[in-house]
């Protein structure tokens, strides 16, 4: 028991799908349990932060960290697990690139609070009660972790050893990583564990020369099952997105949304995708270009769905004078992928 490598899993700002994905290993989870000594997995086992704090630095061999960093608690656990882990893996698209929580970077914290706690149609909050950092109760003062104005990827807060993208990472991707770690055949530090080719490579749909004269939303047409979705005007990020999922979404008629992120060496997934899509728009005049683009609702959401915080943009421009908190500002490491 004592000789087995120690494994930790943590869930920061994310939906929990990544935890389910680990369980999706089915009976292979027993191999994981056999190969590793699981020291920390709050989703499954009852352990406190204090138990982690009590560990020696570097005593965890591998930590699978899922979720983005959007508050002080996420950041605190990122720093703690970094200190205690030999190998820290950004597990899933939220940890790798900020992903869906990262879309909050198109708004400010105040705008979000205003909508979520006051304006949204299903909210009844006439006295405008908003989350407070500190609240006095009979037992004393309660404190909530500070909610950041900007969502960050894990590597923008602490150094990360490997990246395992996916929303969630597919079982075969996890197996790839687990096998690499168990066998010791790990890629060079800083690498994304996975393939370095786009989704199209795994997609059986037939592709032609591309010219898009308008975009369709999925409910507007029934796509030909054998032809490339992008060729049919259905937005598909597969051209710019790392393979590894066996083109699951395109295979069932839903365009890729880009969760596996860009290939190695690409600085900005959204910009790459945007530049590719813009290149194949069938238009000669600015007006025609506008008309084609008008058929694509929410371009920012399409192009930057999973990798906004990690992109060159990072977020919508802050208004003048709007400051970052000290915690948000401190360590900014650019992911090496």
Choice between 100 and 243, CB closer to another protein: 243
Q: Find out whether 79 and 56 touch, Cβ atoms under 8 Å.
A: no
Q: Find out whether 113 and 130 touch, Cβ atoms under 8 Å.
A: yes
Shortest Å distance, C-beta 58 to another protein: 33
Dihedral angle computed from the Cα positions of residues 71, 77, 80 and 84, in that order, rounded to the nearest 10 degrees: -150
Shortest Å distance, C-beta 261 to another protein: 12
Q: What tokens were used for 165?
A: 């993208």
Q: Residue 147 contacts by C-beta under 8 Å, 6 or more apart in sequence? A: 70, 71, 109, 131
Alpha helices, DSSP H, located in 98-247: 99-102, 109-114, 171-183
Choice between 39 and 263, CB closer to another protein: 263
Choice between 76 and 210, CB closer to another protein: 210
Choice between 20 and 197, CB closer to another protein: 197
Contact positions vs another protein (CB under 8 A): 196-201, 207-211, 228, 230, 238-240, 243, 262-263, 265-267, 272-273, 275-276, 278-280
Shortest Å distance, C-beta 329 to another protein: 18
Shortest Å distance, C-beta 292 to another protein: 15
Choice between 146 and 266, CB closer to another protein: 266
Rounded to whole angstroms, the Cα distance separating 69 from 259 reads: 17
Shortest Å distance, C-beta 207 to another protein: 5
Identify the H or E element spanning 249.
helix 248-251
């Amino acid at each position: 028991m004592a000789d087995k490598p120690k494994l930790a899993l943590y869930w920061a700002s994310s939906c929990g799908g990544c935890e389910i994905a680990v369980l999706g290993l089915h009976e292979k989870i027993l191999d994981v349990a056999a190969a590793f000594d699981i020291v920390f997995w709050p989703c499954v086992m009852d352990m406190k932060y204090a138990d982690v704090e009590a560990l020696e630095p570097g005593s965890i061999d591998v930590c699978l960290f899922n979720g983005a960093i959007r508050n002080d608690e996420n950041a605190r656990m990122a720093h703690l697990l970094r200190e205690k882990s030999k190998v820290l893996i950004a597990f899933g698209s939220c940890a790798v690139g900020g992903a869906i929580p990262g879309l909050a970077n198109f708004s400010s914290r105040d705008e979000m609070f205003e909508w979520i706690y006051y304006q949204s149609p299903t909210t009844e909050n006439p006295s405008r009660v908003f989350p407070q950092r500190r609240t006095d109760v009979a037992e004393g003062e309660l404190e909530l972790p500070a909610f950041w104005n900007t969502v960050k990827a894990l590597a923008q807060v602490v150094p990360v050893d490997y990246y395992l993208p996916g929303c969630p990472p597919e079982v075969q991707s996890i197996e790839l990583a687990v096998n690499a770690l168990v066998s010791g055949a790990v890629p060079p530090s800083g690498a994304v564990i996975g393939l370095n080719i786009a989704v199209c490579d795994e997609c059986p749909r037939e592709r032609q020369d591309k010219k898009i004269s308008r975009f369709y939303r999925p409910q507007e047409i029934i796509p030909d099952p054998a032809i490339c979705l992008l060729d049919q005007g259905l937005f598909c990020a597969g051209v710019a997105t790392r393979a590894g999922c066996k083109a699951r979404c395109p295979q069932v008629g839903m365009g890729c949304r880009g969760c596996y992120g860009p290939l190695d060496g690409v600085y900005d997934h959204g910009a790459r995708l945007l530049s590719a899509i813009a290149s194949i728009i069938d238009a000669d005049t600015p007006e025609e270009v506008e008309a084609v683009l008008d058929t694509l609702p929410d371009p920012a959401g399409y192009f930057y769905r999973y990798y906004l915080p990690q992109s060159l943009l990072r977020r919508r421009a802050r208004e003048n004078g709007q400051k970052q908190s000290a915690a948000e500002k401190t360590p900014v490491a650019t992911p090496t992928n």
